[in-house]
Amino acid sequence: MKKAWWKEAVVYQIYPRSFKDSNGDGIGDLNGIIEKLDYLKLLGIDVIWLSPIYKSPNDDNGYDISDYEDIMDEFGTMEDFDRLLKEAHDRGIKILMDLVVNHCSDEHKWFVEASSSKDNPYRDYFIWKDGKKGEYPNNWKSFFGGSAWEYHEETGQYYLHLFTKKQPDLNWENENMRKDIYKMMKYWLDKGVDGFRMDVFNMYSKKEGFPNVVDNPNGIYINGPKIHDYVKEMNKEVFSKYDIMTVGEAPCVPSSMGYLYVGEDREELNMIFHFDLMDMPNDSSDKFNKIHWNLKDVKDIFMRWYEDLKDRGWNSLFMNNHDQPRMVSRFGNDKEYRVQSAKMLATLIHTFQGTPYIYQGEEIGMTNAYFESISDYRDVETLNYYKEKIEEGIDEGTLIDKIKLTSRDNARTPVQWDDSENAGFTNVTPWINVNPNYKYINVKKALEDKDSIFYYYQKLINLRKENPVIVYGDLNLIYKDDKNIFAYVRKLEDKEILVILNFFDKEVEFNIPKEYENKEFNLLINNYEIKDTVNNKMTLRPYEARVYSII
């Protein structure tokens, strides 16, 4: 297995709006991030992935960019950014930028030009079509509700927007557009940023003729016909010229296709984020239903991606981000076993093969917000969904019950720094309410408690640094069909470690596999106090996690 710094790294995602407010306007900002760099250093992470910080009218919290080379007013200035980059680098922390170039904002100068007349040179930077007898050009749907086409009165054509109508899709067929994007990427790389997380990159290519979607959009506007040409071109023109890390966000990519994007000989990307875990169960296309999972599927997904990329590509590992419910609320137990289950899940992410991603607040076990009233929600996806369903006649209570569990705002409440008013995030009313549980779940408390989730993450990160087997070792699933336990052995040359995870709130028996019965076991990390030495049989407590090195 080829070595690389980005395989050994642990990444921490910051959603700047909710991280730390430094100037008392209720919105997180760049100076707030600078204030907390020492905290991140203490945690031990290597890379920060910054969700978008560029100029934006914030229709989708910065994922609608109106100037790629300037900073959002609420977040600060370019001087603040330069200082952040320097302060991070001084601490040995790298910075990954969010690259959102499937679409931009309708307030970007390119779109303003493009919509001024049909023969404007920028017209073709976007995707315009005539209506079909007064109807939409085709049946494509926006991810955030309704048609993906918006009629533009002044020029009498529709433009494509796979997300909100304030996020027009860029036309990747246009070579000048692509060159402008590469130029912009180099602007950031020349400043010294360390790579990109690429927003929905596998939607850049749209199928010629713009056919209706029949079953699903795969091959039409997801993983479209020219996607590999575009990524390869970007790699050649930009990535290959720098020592950087790239990770593409890739909804609807099956593991069998993963290699095509991240194969070591493919000259495309280092890693992708697949959504197999986030999209469980597969029998529903409604995102607001997708919170049910079972351990068999979880194991299958981890193993499938491991096997399909083994020795020829690299995985990313995550169980939440700014678009998903909180990990401990979804896959763990945020009530009686919050601490134990948060640590157990972290053990999986940090001892499986791949690069671990931590989403802000995860390291203290922040939970879903479970807001009860629609007036507490801010996210455009949630608000559009609510409106659409209310219009369809769905009852408000049923709807809120679903939104409470699935809304992206669950992940977007402010980071809970201490137990003072507004959780130490701000000294005014924040842009979105804090989770009321900040009184007992907060960073200050975690730092004072040696058994906290925070110190467990710190230890996991250290273990990874000290044990190359955790990064590069092969992986063997054991007890594949066990309904309660996820367990595997990692092996690199003569080093072997055993990971045992009880995924549920019941006690369960675990037998050391026959071939290891006479070995010696040395405990590396565990989320409960363990007094006994290892017998061939052990009883695991609710959500218990143990990692042993085998001697």
Which among Ca ion, ligand TEU, none contacts residue 60 (Cβ within 5 to 8 A by kind)?
ligand TEU
Nearest to 452 by CA among 532, 523, 530, 362: 362
Q: Taking phi first (over 0 means left), then psi (-120 to 50 degrees means alpha), and beta for anything else, what does residue 27 get? A: beta
The alpha carbon dihedral of 344, 347, 349, 351 has a sign of negative
Based on the shown chain and the rule CB under 6 A, indicate whether residue 62 belongs to the binding site for ligand TEU: no
Nearest-approach distance from CB 232 to ligand TEU, in angstroms: 22
How many chain residues bind Ca ion (CB under 5 A)? 5
Q: Which is nearer to Ca ion, 27 or 234 (CB)?
A: 27
Q: How far apart are CA 223 and CA 250, in angstroms?
A: 9
What is the spatial distance between Cα 158 and Cα 136, in angstroms, rounded to a whole number? 8
**Of these, 83, 186, 207, 287, which contacts ligand TEU (CB under 6 A)?**
287
Q: Report the candidate in 117, 170, 166 with the shortest Cα–Cα distance to residue 142.
A: 166
Among 199, 268, 496, 544, binds ligand TEU (CB under 6 A): 199
Residues that contact ligand TEU, how many (by CB under 6 A): 14
Query: Using CA atoms, how far apart are residues 272 and 246, in angstroms rounded to an integer?
Result: 8
Taking CA atoms, 282 is separated from 202, 221, 223, 301, 434, in Å, by 20, 20, 19, 12, 32
Taking CB under 6 A as the rule, does residue 516 contact ligand TEU?
Answer: no
Q: Is 80 in the site for Ca ion (CB under 5 A)?
A: no
150: phi then psi, degrees, rounded to nearest 5: -125, 130
Which structure tokens are listed for 174? Answer: 């246009």
Residue number, 106 or 199, with CB nearest to ligand TEU? 199
CA angle 47, 50, 56 (to 5 degrees): 165
Q: Please select the residue that binds ligand TEU; options are 46, 60, 268, 363, rule is CB under 6 A.
A: 60
Q: Is 268 a catalytic residue?
A: no
Q: What is the CA radius of gyration of the chain?
A: 24
Tell me which residue has tokens 């926006």. Answer: 142
Under the criterion CB under 6 A, does residue 106 sit at the interface with ligand TEU?
A: no
CA contacts within 13 A on the Cβ side of 377 = 25
- Binder of ligand TEU out of 143, 182, 210, 479 (CB under 6 A): 143
Report the interhelical angle of 396-406 vs 380-391 (nearest 10°): 160
Residue of 106, 199, 334, 363 marked active site: 199
Q: Using the minimum distance from each CB to Ca ion, give the nearer residue, 20 or 274.
A: 20
Partner interacting with residue 496 (select from Ca ion, ligand TEU, none; CB below 5-8 Å by kind): none
Q: Per CB under 6 A, does 200 bind ligand TEU?
A: yes
249 is catalytic: yes
Residue 140 backbone zone (phi > 0: left; psi -120 to 50: alpha; other: beta) = beta
Site membership for ligand TEU, residue 472 (CB under 6 A): no
Q: For Ca ion, which residue of 6, 15, 21, 262 counts as binding (CB under 5 A)? A: 21
Using the contact rule CB under 5 A, the part of the chain among 10-18, 21-29, 41-49, 477-485 near Ca ion is 21-29
Binding track over 25-44 against Ca ion, x by CB under 5 A: x-x-x---------------
Q: Which does 200 bind (CB under 5 to 8 A by kind): Ca ion, ligand TEU, none?
A: ligand TEU
Binding residue (CB under 6 A) for ligand TEU from 381, 409, 496, 544: 381
Q: How far is the CB of 37 from ligand TEU (least distance, A)?
A: 24
N- to C-terminal Cα separation, the chain: 23
Shortest spacing between CB 323 and ligand TEU, in angstroms: 4
**Running DSSP on this structure, what letter comes out for residue 14?**
E
Among 63, 75, 230, 417, binds ligand TEU (CB under 6 A): 63
Residue 501 and residue 490: Cα distance in Å, rounded? Answer: 14
Amino acid at 335: K
432 binds Ca ion (CB under 5 A): no
Q: How many angstroms separate the CA atoms of 368 and 332, rounded?
A: 12
Active-site amino acid positions: 199, 249
Residue ranges in contact with Ca ion by CB under 5 A: 21, 23, 25, 27, 29
Residue ranges in contact with ligand TEU by CB under 6 A: 60, 63, 100, 143, 163, 199-200, 249, 251, 287, 322-323, 381, 408
